[in-house]
Structure 1
Amino acid sequence: MDKYLGALRERDFRNLYAARAFSLFGDGMVPVALAFAVLETDNSATALGLVLASRYLALVGMLLVGGVVADRLPRRLVLISSDLVRLVTQALIAVLLITGTAQIWHLAALAFAYGIGDAFFRPTSTGIIPQTVSKARMQQANALISLTSSSFTILGPIVAAIIIAAVGVGWAFALDAATFLVSAAFIARLPVLKKAAATSASFVADLKEGWSEFTSRRWLWVDGVYSALGSFAVLAPFLTLGPVIANNELGGATAWATILTAFGIGSVLGGIALLRVQPTRPLVAAVIPLTLLALPNALLALSTPTIAIAVGAFAGGLGLAFFNTLFETTVQMNVPQQSLSRIAAIDWMLSSSLLPLGAALAGPAAALVGADSVFWFSVVWIIGSTLVVISVPEIRSFRSAQAPAETGAELASKSVDSDATGAKPVVAEPTDPASASASVPHTS
């Protein structure tokens, strides 16, 4: 089992993993809960697009700040603060929905506040993983988090649909709020980890240094542009128009939950595969499977039954899990620790930058040319753009590097637990790294 779960034998990562698991469970409910909270208030794609755009606009606007802060302050403190901010926003949404006083502007404003908390969480969560687990287990740690996230994209929609049907959508948000409290408690159990030690006293200088590190790696900035355009053309239509079609044509929350659950099952299988599989060309192995995201959008365009769309979503989830885990590990293994959160923030900012615009325009575009035309455009885009990206030499020729053996001091700093015999676990060197903002799912 050490080959699959060995990272959990390291105490610091175990606490971090537990924190992530609880918050990811709550987050798994949000795609269904938020969509139907909006549709319950104003049954239109435009209203849903507005709320989603508010959330992602805050995320994009604050990511760079979050990245610099995560490299300057203790990441443990930043994660706890982020959890508490998101706890408050979800709790307020729950109260408004339960009391029947929610309006679209309330949901948009609180989604904006949630996005700010998320903007500090994402780069910090990427930067803290190497501080809590040995290098040889880094891909395994990322795969475990990705696998758990994927598992809760299965369980979360199911739980959300049950809660919505039984007691109302507000209670799904109440449960999500509670998970952030538990998450903060587990993060508080981490030791006071060494700061990343950004070298400059100036916020702007730190930001410039991070940007220089980012742009010096062509494979990294190409991903940022690729992901930004993919978010606009592929994910935004799926997340904005998909729930509306499910609500109006496929049977409501249950249909959308089924589609998201299938997406999660695909992600789980992708995560399981990456617990052990380590491709020698991680970027090629990460990018090509993203073409599978064309399937759910194509099936939505064809007005197929829920089960067929779910099969396509399964494939899309599988592809996205491969991309997220492989790319994030690649970033963590090939970027200096003192710049890691800033670079992750820049990558997340670029990746998410056009998602608010895509969400805001998906509804009007569908009204103008039809939802099926919007979906077909996204299909053509993801296939064509992926072919362009894998033609970039730095992507195509990027090879995995062995993780260097860690010193005894490094292993001790990770708080590696003894096994039943009292011996320290043997740390094997991996054959390659991989990675990109998985933690969250990287928006591609």
Structure 2
Amino acid sequence: MPRFRHPHRSLAPLRHRDYRLFFLAYLISMLGDGVWLVALPWVAMEMGGDSSELAMVVGAEAVGLISCVLVGGALADRYPRRRVIGWSFAASSAVLGLLAAVHLVGGLAVWQLVGAAFVLGASAAISGPASDALTPDLVPEENLHSANALESTVRALAVRMVGPALGGVLVAVLDSLGIIVINAVSFGLAALCVALMRRGGGTGAAAGEEQEAGTVSYREALRYLFGERWLWVLIVWSGVVLLLQSGPRQVLLPFLISGRLGGDARDYGLLVAVTGVAAVAASLMLGARKPPRDYARRMLLAWTAGAASLALIVFVPSFWLLLPLAVVYGFFSTVGNVYWSTLVQTVPSAVRGRVISVDWLGSLALVPLSAVIAGVGSGRAFVVTVFVLGGTLPVLMTLATLRWVDLKALRPPGDAGDAGETDGEPGGQPVAEERAPQPVP
């Protein structure tokens, strides 16, 4: 059997009308996020804010995201998922519209921007798990891997490359009011795309009905999660790796480029762009490639390869030697993320939203602590220690995981082969559906 599929099969998920609309909503919202990432500091500065007030705005969005993500998972299992996503987008559009109206009458202050940022973070926390949980309801399971590769491509292009570039252009030609209005319109268009979706196949969430999952308590959902060793171990694995790596990448790396390697902001931007290009390349490759049978093991090894590149950063003698490491990190971390997104979507639909929300929380909760740890010291010995530990401990964790968790038992969706593919509507069930928890009376 050839390892690569026919090129058009990477676009197979787009054959389904509801998924096309969902994908368009995803694309619009990701572009808006990319624009807002660049524009937000300039909007805050135009309001008269300083660095500490900008930190409050960014922190408020993070607080909204972390504090509401478990609520988002519960809503995704209790109510129709496309409705949860649509109302979340509509809420974001409304709060930005209100912000624009206040700005128009000349009363906008930084504290109002902080409040809006919290709402936007909470909205993302509610729509994110629902979006991840909805994808398996919109495409057959043999197309799920390609769907996640498509979404990964869009995320890398929109958030890391096109969105920030567009944001820079808009900041140059528009004032803060125009930026806020454009972002409000983008969320409104995304909500409209979701509203145009029909009642899809699959579980209650896709059919527009109240889910059976509403009778499955959070206790039972957590019992399922912790009963699946591979699931909770890999969530913990990724959370610890982000604790080790996110702070050094975001806090210490810019200072390393500026101080030791004599670079500037343009060099740092180039490094981020190269990482994004590698992520796009990985996503496109995965979309056209048949999922391997040892799906989970390759996922873990890809994550480890991406993480290990961090240990070498502090030893390179020039900025240009950082670029190959950025390629390794961007490529392999994206491969691992696409595999993981697909694998976690095979959990039973009744608990899928809550499991995904726990995964989100595990990924997000320790990121602020990682930044605090990275900011403790700036000496050469401290920086070397932090980067080396961040690159080597994941390797040891992977070796322990491979011995303790039976990853061979996990199979990718649609593992029966190409013969199971169909051009019809989604009808396959996730491979883990047989292990669904029983509803609590």
Taking the aligned partners of 2:255 and 2:22, their CA distance within structure 1 comes to 36
Whether 2:224 is the aligned partner of 1:213: answer yes
User: CA-to-partner distance for each residue in 1:105-147, whole Å, 9 max, x for gaps?
Assistant: 5544333221110111111011111111111111111111111
Taking the aligned partners of 1:168 and 1:139, their CA distance within structure 2 comes to 41
Taking the aligned partners of 1:109 and 1:303, their CA distance within structure 2 comes to 44
Distance 1:161-1:351 versus aligned 2 partners, 3 A rule: same
- How far 1:324 moved relative to its partner? 1.5
Contact 2:76/2:353, CA 8 A, preserved across alignment? yes
Contact 2:16/2:425, CA 8 A, preserved across alignment? no
**Secondary structure at 2:129's aligned position in 1?**
helix
Whether 2:150 is the aligned partner of 1:144: answer yes
- How far 1:353 moved relative to its partner? 1.2
Taking the aligned partners of 2:156 and 2:224, their CA distance within structure 1 comes to 31
Q: Could you tell me which amino acid in structure 1 is paired with residue 17 of structure 2?
A: R
Whether 2:354 is the aligned partner of 1:342: answer yes
Taking the aligned partners of 2:381 and 2:98, their CA distance within structure 1 comes to 36
**Secondary structure at 2:144's aligned position in 1?**
helix
Q: Could you tell me which amino acid in structure 2 is paired with residue 282 of structure 1?
A: Y
Structure 2 unaligned segments of length 5 or more: list them: 1-6, 433-441
Taking the aligned partners of 1:88 and 1:237, their CA distance within structure 2 comes to 36
Show the counterpart of 1:6.
Answer: 12
Show the counterpart of 2:439.
Answer: none
The match for 1:178 among 185, 195, 198 is 185
Show the counterpart of 2:30.
Answer: 24
Contact 2:132/2:345, CA 8 A, preserved across alignment? yes
Q: Aligned runs of 1:31-50 on 2, under 5 Å?
A: 31-34=37-40, 50=56
Contact 1:220/1:347, CA 8 A, preserved across alignment? no
Taking the aligned partners of 1:163 and 1:302, their CA distance within structure 2 comes to 36
Distance 1:236-1:8 versus aligned 2 partners, 3 A rule: same
Distance 1:377-1:244 versus aligned 2 partners, 3 A rule: closer
Show the counterpart of 2:341.
Answer: 328
Percent identity over paired residues: 24
Contact 2:316/2:322, CA 8 A, preserved across alignment? no
Taking the aligned partners of 1:395 and 1:48, their CA distance within structure 2 comes to 46
Taking the aligned partners of 1:371 and 1:93, their CA distance within structure 2 comes to 44
Contact 1:70/1:78, CA 8 A, preserved across alignment? yes
Q: Aligned runs of 1:147-162 on 2, under 5 Å?
A: 147-152=153-158, 153-162=160-169
Show the counterpart of 1:312.
Answer: 325
- How far 1:281 moved relative to its partner? 2.0
In the superposition, the TM-score normalised over structure 1's length comes to 0.78
- How far 1:311 moved relative to its partner? 4.5
Q: Which moved more, 1:122-131 or 1:109-118?
A: 109-118
Taking the aligned partners of 2:67 and 2:177, their CA distance within structure 1 comes to 28
Show the counterpart of 1:79.
Answer: 85
Structure 1 unaligned segments of length 5 or more: list them: 416-426, 434-444
The match for 2:283 among 263, 266, 271 is 271
The match for 2:367 among 324, 349, 355 is 355
**Secondary structure at 2:127's aligned position in 1?**
helix
- How far 1:24 moved relative to its partner? 1.2
- How far 1:75 moved relative to its partner? 0.9
Contact 2:311/2:389, CA 8 A, preserved across alignment? no
The match for 1:388 among 391, 394, 397 is 397
Q: C-alpha root-mean-square deviation of aligned residues, in Å?
A: 3.9
User: CA-to-partner distance for each residue in 1:370-424, whole Å, 9 max, x for gaps?
Assistant: 4983575144224312431343232643442553889x9x986549xxxxxxxxx
Show the counterpart of 1:283.
Answer: 296
User: CA-to-partner distance for each residue in 1:233-288, whole Å, 9 max, x for gaps?
Assistant: 31234234556778997544x55543332221111111012111412222222222
Contact 1:70/1:123, CA 8 A, preserved across alignment? yes
Whether 2:146 is the aligned partner of 1:133: answer no
Distance 1:170-1:216 versus aligned 2 partners, 3 A rule: farther
Taking the aligned partners of 1:258 and 1:174, their CA distance within structure 2 comes to 29
Distance 1:244-1:48 versus aligned 2 partners, 3 A rule: farther
Show the counterpart of 1:227.
Answer: 238
**Secondary structure at 1:21's aligned position in 2?**
helix
Contact 1:37/1:97, CA 8 A, preserved across alignment? no
User: CA-to-partner distance for each residue in 1:303-333, whole Å, 9 max, x for gaps?
Assistant: 954x554543333221221121101111122
Q: Could you tell me which amino acid in structure 2 is paired with residue 83 of structure 1?
A: F
Distance 1:247-1:91 versus aligned 2 partners, 3 A rule: farther
Contact 1:32/1:157, CA 8 A, preserved across alignment? yes
